[in-house]
Structure formats: C-alpha cells, structure tokens
Structure 1
Amino acid sequence: MKRAVLSMVLFFVLVFGFVCQASAGNVIDRILKKGVLTVGTTGHYPPFTVDDKNGNPMGFDIDLARMMAEAMDVKLTISEMPITKLFSAIEKNEIDIALAGITITPKRNLRVVFIGPYYVTGQSLLGEKSIVSKVKGPEDMNKPSFKIVVSRGTTGEQVARAMAPKADIIAVKDMETAFKMVIDRKAQALMADEPFCVVMAFRNQDKKLAVSAPFTFEPLGAAMPSSDVLWINWVDNFLMNLNATGKLKELKGYWLADPSWMQRLPETEGLLYKKSAM
C-alpha cells in the first residue's frame, strides 16, 4: 500500500514538474537560444505598423518590438501577415508575440494571452466629410443603402456588424484595400481604430475626409502564447517599466501626436503603399 501511494506521489511530482517546466520558460528559452525575438504584425495599420519608403517596418508597435529585443539583448525579426493569421501563428509557435494595434476582446482572449492595454482607442468612421458629418449615431448608418467597408477579422468588422446590422458591410483583405474603396467611392465609409482614421485623413487632406468620434472603447494589447508564464511576466513587467520611466509616453507622443513620421511613408496618391505594390 505504501509503495502504491509513494509511486502515485512520485508520478504526480514528475508530471507536475514537467508541466511547470514546459509552461515556465519554453518561449523565453527559444528566444534566448536562437538569439532572436520573432514579432508578428500586419504592416497595414499606421501609426502602429506600416512599411516605410524602403519597405522597412515602422510604427508604434515596431518601436515597441525593437525596445523589447534590445532589453533581451537579442536580434529582432518582424513577420508580417494578415491579422486573421496572427493568432494561429501564436498557437503554432511561429511567432513569439504579436504587436499590431490589436484590440483585446473576450473572444480573442480565449485563444491567446493579452498583456496591456498599452493604448486605449475606439472605432471611428472615415469617409468624405459630407457623409461622415451626417452620422451622429449608429441609426444614421444602419440602413441597406449605407456601405461600410472593413478589414476582415478586425474589431472594426465586429463593431460595424453589431452596430449597423442592416448596413451593407463589405469585408476586404486589408486596410489598404478598404481605404481604396472609400477613395474610389465604392463605400461611404471605413470603420477602424481612430488613430488609423486620423492618420489617413491627415495624409489625404485633398480628399476632404473626416473622422467621426469613436463609437467604442478599444483597449490595445500584446497578444502572446499561454504556454510560458515567465515570458508573460517578462512582457508585463517590461511594459510597466516603460510606463513608469515615461518612455511609453514618449512613443505615444511621436507616433500619435507628431505627424512628422509621415514623411517616412512611401509617396502615394492617397494609399498606404506604392501603386507597384498593389
């Protein structure tokens, strides 16, 4: 009997120890052994993530990723993909963390861990001033004749479908395509995070675009695998220290209040990228 009890105790100790070891540092171990931090992003969501004139990633989240890599003394690899693939990439251990202006939602939180928020925004409409100025609330766009374009898989799509179920909601592959539809007047408005809408309106002043007040509360956070408690704790403390030292405030000031960074964007006719890249 004693042997049976002892064997059972040893079994649970070994199993529990194995699980704890697997969950306490597997991601951090991978990063340190490879000497590389792999960050997933979309590259289609200024001011958080976008490519510059030379095709290099830049933005609020990209700077955040660089600061993480520097703090860990490792190299940084940026992996761009649609937002719909970011979560599966985390689950498959293809990336270590996702930074892409990602809204924290209960549904997404069932798949990945979120740390944050490091920024709070809301969903707004972007369109011609003559159209957006008439939208005072959801009822003004909740009709079949009102076309709202969204990037597929974003919270913009979720909010548009929830707030205006009767509207003609058009889901496209990315923000570039969505914005082009507004410029080409194939949709009356685009729904997205307010900072993105403000950037595009500012950059395309000749188009006489306007941005509505936010309709929602949108906390943005870092999406991470749930398999490594140490990695989750490290990122949480990293963001806490950034906030305490004022560096997070500096990032927000540059990317969300100072338009000078827009000079680094490709020269285009109202789009995110050069025509040759479309």
Structure 2
Amino acid sequence: MKKMIQAAALAVSLFAATSTMADTTLQNISKSGELRVCFDAGYMPFEMKAKNGEFIGFDIDLGQMLAKAIDVKFTPVNTSWDGIIPALLTNKCDVIMGGMTITAKRNMQVNFTQPYVVIGQSILLNSKLAGTVTSYRDLNDAKYTIATKLGTTGIVAAERFLPNAKKNKFETTADAALEVSNGKADAFVYDLPFNAIYAAQNKGQVVHLDQPFTFEPLGFAVRQGDADFLNFLNNYLNQIKGDGTYDRIYNKWFKSASWLSKVQ
C-alpha cells in the first residue's frame, strides 16, 4: 500500500511539473515571433483572397493589428471550414478569427472571446423612406412591402417580427435586393454582411439600417483551458473598441465598397 501511495504521489508530482513546464499560447507566440490565425477565405467582408493572392478583410485587419500591437509576425492559415476547429485543437494555429458564430455546440470544443461583432437580420431600406423608417419595428404595417429570399432565416424573421407587412418572396438574393433598389418593395430583410455591402455599392438607392434585430454573435475561438490568452484577447477587443480603432476598421469593410475592386 505504501508503495502504491508513493507511486501515485510521484505521478501527481510529474504531472504537475509537466503542466508547469508547458508553455502557454502567449508564451509560444512570443517565442516563435508569430501569431498564427485560422480562417476560411471567402466570407465577405470578413476574409477574402484578393486578385494579387493576398488575404484581405475585416478579420484579417484585426489580426494584423493584433500582431503589430505585440510585435510579432501575422501568419494567415487559410483552412476549410469543416476542419477549422480541428486545426486549432491540433495546434496548427493559435486562434480562429474567421467570423465564427458562438454556439453552444462549438463552445463544447473551444472557448470564445466576448462577441467582437454581432450579425443577424438587418434592413435594406429604399432611400425614399430614409428618416421615416428608423427601425425594423416601423415596417410592421400593412402599407409596407417586405422582400425576402426563399428558404432563409430572413423569411422567419420577417414573419415573426413584421407580421402585418406584406411579404414578397424571391428565389435569389440579388432579385430581392433589386426590388428594393427599384422601389417595388420598401425593404429587404437579410443577413447584415450582405446588406452592408449592397448598401455601400448602391448609395442613393438604398439605406442600410445596420442594427441587427436578431442575435448572432461572432467571437474569436481559442483552445479550452487557455484563460491567459482569452483574457488577453478580450482586453485587446476592449482597447480597440474604446480608442476608435475598431470603428475605423469596421467602417472600412462594412460601410464602404472601395475594397470590392480588389476581389472582383
């Protein structure tokens, strides 16, 4: 029995020593001199591959700014979406910064920062109603016609929040948005990123009410048990949101269409 107790104590001691010796993600980033960021290029305007082969987008800018702030190299790790969490868990990258929605199922595998952007359904409004309609609630009236796309959560949101408005359903996103631009519909209910880009491309014809009225928070993902790195990222987000850096980057990608020429 005494030998068993001694063996158990030795095992605990070795485990503790190994755990203490293991470097944290922050220490590994500092030692390697690089911040490896996983994403799946193709989700506009979060991460895209430009004509010149470079990766650009909202998440890319945030990652580059973070790497610069701690004086390390930004290393992009473009990863297929279905393998992005396994890539993080097997240490192929340090963090996922890829427009990932925070869900309970994903949270069973990774830890998330505070939401760095909230998407959801927003309103693309015909410009003639600018100032008259200032919220999705104002559209809940039989005098308004809402364009929606078949098979999307936009239809669900429109039925739930705007039951009194008339609904016109379309096969494609482009047709639904064009209906608003042409004045044949008063508003289009759809995902915020698309509406933001479309509004930037069609200034004067449509207005984007960019406060989402359904909740879909996006967060950076890190390996579970990495409290120091999680604390670091949350503090970084608080800092850039407070000093205006975040707003500048957000406006660049969500309120301007100047970047589209780099990918089209």
TM-score normalised by length of structure 1? 0.63
Match of 1:116 among 80, 105, 114: 114
Larger Cα-atom Rg: 2
Pairing of 1:1-278 with structure 2 (within 5 A): 5-22=5-22, 25=24, 27-124=25-122, 134-135=145-146, 147-148=150-151, 182-183=173-174, 193-203=191-201, 214=212, 216-226=214-224, 228-257=226-255, 259=256, 262-266=257-261, 273-274=263-264
Distance 1:213 1:75 in 2: 34
- Indicate the SS of the match to 1:113: strand
Shift of 1:118: 1.6
CA distance in 1, matches of 2:249, 2:204: 28
What stretches of structure 2 of length at least 5 have no aligned partner? 127-143, 159-170, 180-187
| TM-superposition CA deviations, 1:33-76 (whole Å, max 9, x none) | 33221111222223322234433222221111011111232111
User: Is contact 1:45–1:196 with CA below 8 Å preserved after alignment?
Assistant: no
Contact 2:97–2:219, Cα closer than 8 Å, also in 1: yes
Q: 1:77-99 deviations in whole A, cap 9, x for unaligned?
A: 21223433322221222221111
The CA deviation at 1:109 is 0.9
Asked if 2 retains the 8 angstrom alpha-carbon contact of 1:53 and 1:265, the reply is no
CA distance in structure 2 between the partners assigned to 1:201 and 1:85 by the alignment: 33
Q: CA RMSD in A?
A: 4.1
Deviation at 1:251, TM superposition (A): 2.6
Alignment deviations for residues 217-257 of structure 1 (CA, whole Å, 9 cap, x no partner): 12121111225333223222222332343322333343334
* C-alpha distance in structure 1 between counterparts of 2:77 and 2:205, whole Å: 32
Aligned to 1:170: none
- Structure 2 CA distance, aligned partners of 1:76 and 1:93? 16
* Alignment partners' CA distance in 2, 1:28 and 1:264: 32
Q: Which runs of 4+ in 1 moved over 6 A?
A: 160-164, 205-213
CA distance in 2, matches of 1:55, 1:209: 32
Change (3 A) 1:8 1:117: same
Q: TM-score, normalised by structure 2?
A: 0.66
Aligned-partner Cα distance in 1 for 2:240–2:115: 13
User: How much has 1:205 moved relative to structure 2?
Assistant: 7.2
Q: In 2, distance between residues paired with 1:192 and 1:79?
A: 30
Give the AA of the match of 2:19. V
Q: Deviations over 1:177-234 (max 9, x none)?
A: xxx964489xx9x996413332135326799899998452121211112253332232
- In structure 1, the gaps of 5 or more residues are 150-158, 165-179, 268-272
